[in-house]
Amino acid sequence: MKIERIDDKTVKCFLSNEELEEYDIDYKDFVTRSDKAKEVVQEIIEQAEEEVGYKPPKYAFDLQIMMLPEEGLVLVLSDKDPAENKPNTPMQALRELMRICKEVEKKAQQEEATESSGAPARSENTEKNKKKQKKTEEASKPQVAIFAFRNIGRVIEYAAVLPANLRINSTLYRMEDGTCYVYVEKGGASYERYSRACIQAMEFAGLYAADEQKLRYLEEHGECLIREKALKKLRV
């Protein structure tokens, strides 16, 4: 279990596949907040207190989850301000996403059954429906992420490893303590390339948020250094 302090209210914990097996736990347990997941999160909090001086939130906390293929998963715990009215927490958003995906899949199956019972002349419509289904499924997936970097140097290192022709959108913010936040949006990139870019970001930074709700905080408390195509402009 590797724990890293992102800021005063946020810690990141990496759990390898071997550790997940030892705990007999997986991604779904954290999504559903099973008893096993609660025990592991409590252990993370206690270890974070000892290792990095983390102070547990007085109220509730947000839990961000990111899978690292063939490696494990990363959990990001951040203090949740009770004054903020946020009906759509990350967990609720994830459940909503799963619900949408199930509805899309069910609708696609119904359309496929309808098309298969029709005349061969309708094959063109079937192809159109498949393309439409693919676009709908991709649109339902998370399209943005915000990463926290220790300093501008780490952001530049990250930008250097990205492909020159990667068509993602990005904005760079910097706080008074030097911590930098990069808002990454899928843009015109394929979802596969966007996901790969996010996974690469985890080598240099911590996942701060997987939605746009934190942007308001960055705009109010941070300095926007580069508004558009930040990563492309920083690429050496």
Report the amino acid identity of residue 118: G
Edge-first strand order for the sheet with 10-16 is 2-7, 10-16, 72-80, 60-68
End-to-end CA distance of the chain: 34
What was the pLDDT predicted at 113? 64
Output the tens digit of pLDDT for each of the chain's 236 residues. Answer: 888 888 877 888 998 889 988 988 887 788 777 888 889 888 988 898 888 888 876 656 677 777 776 788 888 887 765 444 344 444 454 454 455 455 545 655 665 666 555 545 455 556 666 565 555 555 556 688 899 998 988 999 999 999 989 999 999 999 988 899 999 998 888 888 888 888 888 888 888 887 777 888 899 889 999 999 999 999 76
What was the pLDDT predicted at 171? 95
What was the pLDDT predicted at 93? 47
Predicted structure pTM score:
0.48
Residues with Cβ within 8 Å of 229's Cβ and at least 6 positions away in sequence, in order, are 169, 170
> What is d(CA 232, CA 156) in angstroms, rounded to the nearest whole number?
10
- Kind plus residue range of the DSSP H or E element containing 185: strand 180-185
CA dist 115 to 104, 123, 151, Å? 16, 8, 55
What was the pLDDT predicted at 215? 86
What was the pLDDT predicted at 162? 92
> What is d(CA 107, CA 130) in angstroms, rounded to the nearest whole number?
11
Identify the residue whose tokens are 């990250």.
158
A 10 A CB-CB count for 122 gives: 14
